[in-house]
Amino acid sequence: MRKYTITVNQKNRETQHLSATHGQNLLRVLADAGLSLPSPCGGKGLCGKCKVKVVSSAQTGASQCVTEESFLDEQQIKAGYRLACQVTVTQDLMVDLSSLQPGAAQIMVAGEHEVPLHPLIRKEVLSLPKPSPDLPVSDVERVETALGLPGSIPPALFTQLSSLLRKGDRTLSAVLAGDEVLSIEEKGQPEIYGMAVDLGTTTIVGYLIELVTGKLIDTYAMLNPQKNYGADVISRVNYTIENEDGLATLTALVRNGINEMIRYFCRKNPGMARRIFDLTLVGNTIMIHLFAGLDVKNMAVSPYTPVVARSFQLNPSQTGIEMHPNGKIRILPMIAGFVGADSVAAILACGMGKKTELSLLIDIGTNGEIAIGNSERILTCSTAAGPAFEGANLSHGMGGIEGAINRIWVDQDLEYSTIGNKPPKGICGSAVIDLVAEMLRVGLLEPSGRMKSPAEIEDEEIPSLLKKRLHEVEGQPALFITGKSHGAPEDIYFTQKDVREVQLAKAAIAAGTRILLQEMGVTVEQISHLYLAGGFGNYIDYDSAIKIGLLPKALRKKIVPIGNGAGVGAKMALLSQEYYALAERIQKQTEYLELSTRTDFQDLFLDALELSFQ
Amino acid sequence: MRKYTITVNQKNRETQHLSATHGQNLLRVLADAGLSLPSPCGGKGLCGKCKVKVVSSAQTGASQCVTEESFLDEQQIKAGYRLACQVTVTQDLMVDLSSLQPGAAQIMVAGEHEVPLHPLIRKEVLSLPKPSPDLPVSDVERVETALGLPGSIPPALFTQLSSLLRKGDRTLSAVLAGDEVLSIEEKGQPEIYGMAVDLGTTTIVGYLIELVTGKLIDTYAMLNPQKNYGADVISRVNYTIENEDGLATLTALVRNGINEMIRYFCRKNPGMARRIFDLTLVGNTIMIHLFAGLDVKNMAVSPYTPVVARSFQLNPSQTGIEMHPNGKIRILPMIAGFVGADSVAAILACGMGKKTELSLLIDIGTNGEIAIGNSERILTCSTAAGPAFEGANLSHGMGGIEGAINRIWVDQDLEYSTIGNKPPKGICGSAVIDLVAEMLRVGLLEPSGRMKSPAEIEDEEIPSLLKKRLHEVEGQPALFITGKSHGAPEDIYFTQKDVREVQLAKAAIAAGTRILLQEMGVTVEQISHLYLAGGFGNYIDYDSAIKIGLLPKALRKKIVPIGNGAGVGAKMALLSQEYYALAERIQKQTEYLELSTRTDFQDLFLDALELSFQ
């Protein structure tokens, strides 16, 4: 296994030299050496707190990924700052921890766009005219006139407003959502905050942002408290069908989760919760329904009808969310039962809806959501890729956690790296793609997906060390990555059946991509950017993905990983009314293709089973 | 006392001949003879249920009063139908009870206007397209598309809507307020209702109207349950100042009163309460504040600032009103602390805001509210008239209830009639005006308001029977209307001090009228209509009122009594969005004159103490 040296400089401390293997994560290398950087998001690239200055030159993937750009300003980028959690070690590195500036000014950059700060919620200072007996005017109209907004104050604020006026102070401040007053207060009240939340099936991530400055105050990532009721959305839907109070249970869990997040954000000052006036929420369609307490059972059967897809607002009192009682909970629009507000947010984040050139967006999970389009027209679909790229349903697959084999390459023999440089426990998605690509390259695998048998390869030009790894397990060929024969306690291998799983997943994504191109009437060459959302975009080897035909070769130079596009999009909608409106426009102009009923999709799918891009 | 004969014809019964005295109320004459007509409003002209056909010709006041026109259609009017409670007996009458048509079709006529039926609340029947897998659309958007109103369904209805769709019925009905959906229901749901309520200090009157047809279903009048906490608004304001929970107490009382009214309306079918979708509310500014739970204490001190004057809406859940939970409680706009939504409604009812000619509107109570204007401009003021015209603060004054002397005239002697033809207990407002007018006419009283002493009139040409009624009581002249000398158990007389009370009240109204004319820059001759609101307009003798200078002589032929203008205006706003909008426009274009700070008003007031119109 290739080894590299990480040289670490710190203020007032001796330079340290750490050892790392190929493919290790820099944050973990530092943590293992006792140099723990703050990482409340758990190394997901969500909190921006693990900044380091990387002195040596070009990294794998050359530049910072978009995830990082959200947390680094131009100067920092030029100076070599990175988020340690986003850095994969592929060479010797020199890291400087001495010049970190915690809490430095941040410019919110999302996708390729700077977001102009124009949140729904704003604060205005009012100077009231003195009341006069000659021009009698009611308390409410006096304030509304000063605001220039007749009819803007809801009756629930009348009493509070009247008491404030009686104190005689003629300077007040108002918190408004558009033209509606949410609070009338004495001047000098504290900051106003908003939250952007991405309700994932597995993880809920929230961002606390001060709305006057747009400054990101805090980030929190937590496991979705519904996880004990099913790992995926379909099992949660089933839970609501099988249990009379199932929907209420799941709704309460996710709402409590958000309240837990608010309590975390306000841990030093619980009163701050009442200064949160806006919560923009994204998530897949089923998670949004579960949050809103809406029936999900129709999304389990064709035609997978959601109760609602357009954007809508809920009140804190309707949901029990412990923010300002007059605050807004704004749910971004969804496209269909399996293309949710998280996809709309990712489309927002990548800028597809604003460009004249065509972009392609791929978000790969158990469902692969794919979108193609520009400011004129967007097409989207969801394909049941299955969990092979998440490392599930394979002989020795696993998620991308410690001990997972995350990179595989073949030189004279098969080599690999593991997450955390721990003894290997299984293979995660990025290594699965590497492995299939390498098997194709060296000739262990035919493009049809047929693995050769040990007998067939005897005379072929394949490194002999590799040949020794091919055996038969239960009557089918299996390539041993490690195992007892290599001194490991457990065998880890990859079988013909595993290849078939990868083929199905790959074919679903590739055929989905193909049908969108076809429906749009364009060729792959006409695409200007291929945006990859999620961890997938950050962790896979693009060349391997292209080799197996998962991504189009023509777009190799056009790949842009956008990190947690859903979270970025939610922040953009929180910070800018224009982006919120754009999300609504995206929903209206997006056409959803239901693939399950299309025979042309079946044909494309069968073609795409071939392990090369069509 | 003049006596008349009332001849009553009824189907299948012998003709009856009843005896009545001058000034008696026809409803009471009939009731005393065992011919009770339905009168749930208590004879206030509010329910329209005591219809009779009066065969003999012209009544005092010649035509039906406007109150009656609300309940009678053109044919009925031509045929001589009247509301018995609105008929004062001043001649022999022939009454026909045989051809009554209970529940006859009604056209809502208010003021001088027919109200075009265009309520805020409407019902629509929807035919939904079949859901299709090729065109997947959410439940909510499917219904919104059928309605042609994207974004019109609030999240609180999502679940209900989704369940309805699952039943498979593709014809639904929706109840809407403008572009907002209040309810989605199976077709064939029952009627939709609205209520118009006039929150008076003494009496609360409500009207239940079916909104699709505009038909008046029921009327209910009740004493304001707050009456034990003060007879007038100022004592109720004081109650809220002196008691910590005073405001909450008064608010709960009036809200419970409205719920009592709803229970009365729905006594046969309690489920009907949830079919009430709209409640338009008028009342004086303090009553509106007490209903809304808003602080009233600032209206007790100059500059009498209300918390709110513009129109506003409350939710049933904010108020505990037991109507449809998504229904609207709409409060009509107010002008100032002492010119309330009841005045705006009366302005609406009399049509002042729609005419090019100038109108004058006078509503006399403890405060006299006066308005002058047309569609261009309206001026209004409130004058502290005091309660003399309500029969209070006088030696033997009383309200207009049974046993009150309600008419006084002098021929050879002073004569009078009483309400209900009962033994006299005191003098009510209409008789007070008659008495002062007659005293002036015969020379017992100087225009300055000085009563002559018994000695002074000895040689004057005054009927000798009248001369005998003038005595001295506690050193001041007093005219005895009845008493021990006339065989009555108690003396009833009217003193110099009582004349002064009438002068103050008269001067307040007359000076208020004068200052409005002056401020508008017009003479009284330029006024096209003088509208008199309230019972006052129906019961006083206009000639007496002109004689004492309360009303301008030049407007004698232009007087139009409008009955309960506040209630009529509330109904108009309920039935027609255009009238609701007009009420809001009236508020904006109405200038309020605060008289208490004007020295020119003081001068006009002193001039107007003279008992003749200036």
Q: Are A22 and A92 in contact (CB under 8 A)?
A: no
Whole-number Å distance between alpha carbons of B404 and B399: 7
**Residue A155: its chain B contacts at CB < 8 A?**
292, 308, 312-314, 318
Q: Are B344 and B332 in contact (CB under 8 A)?
A: yes
Q: Which of A77, A78, A329 is nearest to A194 (CA)?
A: A329
Nearest to A336 among B136, B310, B596 (CB): B136
**Residue A337: its chain B contacts at CB < 8 A?**
136
Whole-number Å distance between alpha carbons of B294 and B303: 17
**Residue A132: its chain B contacts at CB < 8 A?**
303
Q: Nearest C-alpha of chain B: how many angstroms from A479?
A: 43
Whole-number Å distance between alpha carbons of B318 and B329: 10
pLDDT at B502 exceeding the cut of 90: yes
**Residue B313: its chain A contacts at CB < 8 A?**
155
DSSP per-residue letters across B413-429: SEEEEEGGGPPP-EE-H
Confidence category of residue B74, pLDDT binned at 50, 70, 90: confident
Map tokens 């001190």 to a residue: B301
Reported for A514-517, long-range contacts at CB under 8 A and 24+ positions apart, including other chains, are A514/A604, A514/A608, A514/A614, A515/A381, A515/A593, A515/A595, A515/A598, A515/A600, A515/A601, A515/A604, A516/A360, A516/A370, A516/A371, A516/A372, A516/A379, A516/A380, A516/A381, A516/A593, A517/A372
List of E strands, B260-333:
276-283, 312-314, 328-331
- Share in percent of chain A as helix, strand, coil (round to 5): 35, 25, 35
The H or E element containing residue B138 is none
Average pLDDT score over residue span A104-108: 26
Contact assignment for A155 to B292 by CB distance below 8 Å? yes
Q: Is residue B238 domain-shared with residue B321, that is, in the same domain?
A: yes
Q: Nearest C-alpha of chain A: how many angstroms from B298?
A: 9
DSSP 8-state symbol, A391: T
Specify the pLDDT at position A453. 93
Interface-testing mutation among B138, B308, B313, with chain A (most A C-beta atoms within 10 A)? B138
Q: Is residue B367 domain-shared with residue B509, that is, in the same domain?
A: yes
Average pLDDT score over residue span A376-399: 88
Q: Are B421 and B28 in contact (CB under 8 A)?
A: yes
The percentage of residues in chain A with a pLDDT greater than 90, rounded to a whole number, is 60
Contact assignment for A307 to B161 by CB distance below 8 Å? yes
Closest residue in A to B150 (Cα) is A310
Angle CA B593–B595–B596, to nearest 5: 140
Average pLDDT score over residue span A337-349: 94
Confidence category of residue A3, pLDDT binned at 50, 70, 90: confident
- Share in percent of chain B as helix, strand, coil (round to 5): 35, 25, 35
Closest residue in B to A145 (Cα) is B310
Q: Is residue B142 domain-shared with residue B29, that is, in the same domain?
A: no
Map tokens 């048998």 to a residue: A453
Contact assignment for B305 to A139 by CB distance below 8 Å? yes
CATH number reported for the structural domain that contains residue A230 in this entry: 3.30.420.480
Whole-number Å distance between alpha carbons of B372 and B381: 9
Q: Nearest C-alpha of chain A: how many angstroms from B190?
A: 26
Q: Nearest C-alpha of chain B: how many angstroms from A462?
A: 50
Whole-number Å distance between alpha carbons of B182 and B326: 6
Q: Is residue B202 domain-shared with residue B182, that is, in the same domain?
A: no
Contacts of A346 (CB under 8 A, 6+ apart): A361, A363, A369, A371, A531, A533, A562, A565, A566, A568, A569
Residue A342, in any domain of the structure: no
Interface-testing mutation among B134, B152, B162, with chain A (most A C-beta atoms within 10 A)? B162
In whole angstroms, what separates CA B38 from the centre of its chain? 20
Residue B519, in any domain of the structure: yes
**Residue B136: its chain A contacts at CB < 8 A?**
303-305, 336-337, 592, 594
Contact assignment for A141 to B594 by CB distance below 8 Å? no
Whole-number Å distance between alpha carbons of B564 and B532: 10
Contacts of A391 (CB under 8 A, 6+ apart): A397, A398, A399, A400, A404, A426, A427, A428, A429, A432
Whole-number Å distance between alpha carbons of B39 and B85: 8
Specify the pLDDT at position B169. 80
Closest residue in A to B131 (Cα) is A303
Q: Are B520 and B358 in contact (CB under 8 A)?
A: yes
Whole-number Å distance between alpha carbons of A87 and A4: 14
Q: Is residue B598 domain-shared with residue B456, that is, in the same domain?
A: no
pLDDT at B465 exceeding the cut of 80: yes
Tell me the H-state helices in B266-399.
285-292, 316-319, 341-350
Beta bridge partners of A236: none
pLDDT tens per residue, range B253-298:
999 999 999 999 999 999 999 999 999 999 999 999 999 999 999 9
Residue B420 belongs to domain spanning: 389-501
Confidence category of residue A111, pLDDT binned at 50, 70, 90: very low
pLDDT at B57 exceeding the cut of 60: no
Contact assignment for A294 to B162 by CB distance below 8 Å? yes
Map tokens 């299984």 to a residue: A426
List of E strands, A337-413:
358-364, 368-373, 378-383, 404-410
Contact assignment for B150 to A293 by CB distance below 8 Å? no
**Residue B304: its chain A contacts at CB < 8 A?**
136
Which of B80-94, B150-164, B397-411, B551-565 is predicted least confidently? B80-94
**Residue A150: its chain B contacts at CB < 8 A?**
310
Q: Nearest C-alpha of chain A: how many angstroms from B305?
A: 6
Residue A112, in any domain of the structure: no
Nearest to B294 among A159, A293, A294 (CB): A159
Contact assignment for B306 to A161 by CB distance below 8 Å? no
Confidence category of residue B511, pLDDT binned at 50, 70, 90: very high
Q: Are A321 and A279 in contact (CB under 8 A)?
A: yes
The percentage of residues in chain B with a pLDDT greater than 90, rounded to a whole number, is 61
Q: Could you count the other beta carbons within 10 Å of the beta carbon of residue B349?
A: 30
Closest residue in B to A161 (Cα) is B307
3-state secondary structure of B55: coil
What Å distances lie between residue B138 and A5, A289, B120, B187, CA to CA?
56, 12, 28, 21
Residue A307, in any domain of the structure: yes
Specify the pLDDT at position B569. 94
Q: Nearest C-alpha of chain A: how many angstroms from B571?
A: 23
Specify the pLDDT at position B59. 46
Average pLDDT score over residue span A505-510: 94
Q: Are B565 and B350 in contact (CB under 8 A)?
A: yes
pLDDT tens per residue, range A556-575:
999 998 888 999 999 999 99
pLDDT at A437 exceeding the cut of 60: yes
Pairing of strands A404-410, A426-427: parallel
Residue B547 phi, psi (nearest 5): -55, -45
Which of A7-16, A462-471, A544-553, B319-328 is predicted least confidently? A7-16
DSSP per-residue letters across B478-512: EEEEESGGGT-SS-EEEEHHHHHHHHHHHHHHHHH
Q: What is the dihedral of CA B350, B356, B358, B364, to 10 degrees?
A: 20
Average pLDDT score over residue span B211-232: 90
Average pLDDT score over residue span B174-198: 93
Closest residue in A to B314 (Cα) is A155
**Residue B140: its chain A contacts at CB < 8 A?**
307-310
Q: ipTM higher than 0.85?
A: no
Whole-number Å distance between alpha carbons of A154 and A152: 6
CA atoms within 13 A on the CB side of A99: 10
Whole-number Å distance between alpha carbons of B239 and B226: 11
Pairing of strands A180-186, A171-177: antiparallel
pLDDT tens per residue, range B378-437:
999 999 887 888 888 899 998 888 889 999 999 999 999 998 888 999 999 999 999 999
Residue B343, in any domain of the structure: no
Nearest to B136 among A161, A314, A592 (CB): A592
Nearest to B155 among A144, A314, A597 (CB): A314
Q: Which of A527, A529, A560, A525 is nearest to A542 (CA)?
A: A560
Closest residue in A to B318 (Cα) is A156
Closest residue in A to B158 (Cα) is A307
Residue A336, in any domain of the structure: no
Interface-testing mutation among A308, A330, A589, with chain B (most B C-beta atoms within 10 A)? A308
Q: Is residue B493 domain-shared with residue B437, that is, in the same domain?
A: yes
**Residue B301: its chain A contacts at CB < 8 A?**
none
Whole-number Å distance between alpha carbons of A30 and B17: 112
Beta-carbon pairs below 8 A across chains A and B = 127
Which of A130-144, A512-526, A587-601 is predicted least confidently? A130-144
**Residue A141: its chain B contacts at CB < 8 A?**
308-310
Average pLDDT score over residue span B578-593: 94
Nearest to B133 among A131, A136, A303 (CB): A303
Angle CA B282–B216–B574, to nearest 5: 35
Confidence category of residue A486, pLDDT binned at 50, 70, 90: confident
Specify the pLDDT at position A202. 84
Beta bridge partners of B96: B9, B53
Closest residue in B to A164 (Cα) is B307
pLDDT at B183 exceeding the cut of 80: yes
**Residue A167: its chain B contacts at CB < 8 A?**
none
**Residue A292: its chain B contacts at CB < 8 A?**
155, 158
pLDDT at A60 exceeding the cut of 50: no
Q: Are B420 and B402 in contact (CB under 8 A)?
A: yes
Which of A193-197, A419-423, B244-248, B602-606 is predicted least confidently? A419-423
Nearest to A303 among B136, B150, B592 (CB): B136
Whole-number Å distance between alpha carbons of B492 and B479: 9
Map tokens 């806006």 to a residue: A278
Average pLDDT score over residue span A163-184: 91
Domains contained in chain B, number: 5
Pairing of strands B426-427, A93-96: unpaired
Specify the pLDDT at position B97. 77
The percentage of residues in chain B with a pLDDT greater than 70, rounded to a whole number, is 91
Closest residue in B to A593 (Cα) is B134
Q: Is residue B201 domain-shared with residue B324, that is, in the same domain?
A: yes
Specify the pLDDT at position A505. 92
Read off the pTM.
0.77
Q: Is residue A59 domain-shared with residue A179, that is, in the same domain?
A: no
Specify the pLDDT at position B134. 63
Contact assignment for A305 to B136 by CB distance below 8 Å? yes
More confident residue, B102 or B41: B41
Q: Is residue A27 domain-shared with residue A43, that is, in the same domain?
A: yes
Nearest to A307 among B131, B150, B158 (CB): B158
Residue B30, in any domain of the structure: yes
CA atoms within 13 A on the CB side of A376: 5
Pairing of strands B171-177, B121-127: antiparallel
Contacts of B306 (CB under 8 A, 6+ apart): A138, A139, B285, B289, B298, B299, B334, B336, B337
DSSP per-residue letters across B194-222: EEEEEE-SSEEEEEEEETTT--EEEEEEE
Q: What is the mean pLDDT of chain B?
A: 87
Q: Is residue B158 domain-shared with residue B234, that is, in the same domain?
A: no
Q: Which of A319, A327, A314, A73 is nearest to A193 (CA)?
A: A327
Q: Nearest C-alpha of chain B: how many angstroms from A577?
A: 17
Confidence category of residue A101, pLDDT binned at 50, 70, 90: very low
Considering A438, A472, A496, which residue would you say is the last residue of a domain?
Answer: A496
Specify the pLDDT at position B107. 27
CATH number reported for the structural domain that contains residue A23 in this entry: 3.10.20.30
Considering A54, A72, A107, which residue would you say is the last residue of a domain?
Answer: A107
Residue B342, in any domain of the structure: no
Q: Is residue A207 domain-shared with residue A311, that is, in the same domain?
A: yes
Burial status of residue B179 (CB atoms within 10 A of its CB: 0-12, 13-18, 19 or more):
exposed
Contact assignment for A293 to B133 by CB distance below 8 Å? no
A128, two tokens = 């009231």
Specify the pLDDT at position A556. 93
Which of B50-54, B205-209, B436-440 is predicted least confidently? B50-54
CATH number reported for the structural domain that contains residue B133 in this entry: 3.10.20.880
Ramachandran quadrant class, B362 (left: phi over 0; alpha: psi -120 to 50; beta: rest): beta
A57, two tokens = 């030159």
CA atoms within 13 A on the CB side of A233: 27
**Residue B318: its chain A contacts at CB < 8 A?**
155-156
Map tokens 């239901």 to a residue: A594
Q: Which of A507, A529, A509, A527 is nearest to A517 (CA)?
A: A527
Q: Is residue A365 domain-shared with residue A506, that is, in the same domain?
A: yes
Confidence category of residue B39, pLDDT binned at 50, 70, 90: low
| Of the ranges A93-97, A254-258, B41-45, B121-125, the best mean pLDDT one | A254-258
Q: Nearest C-alpha of chain A: how many angstroms from B306?
A: 5
What Å distances lie between residue A394 and A482, A502, A505, B454, CA to CA?
16, 9, 12, 121
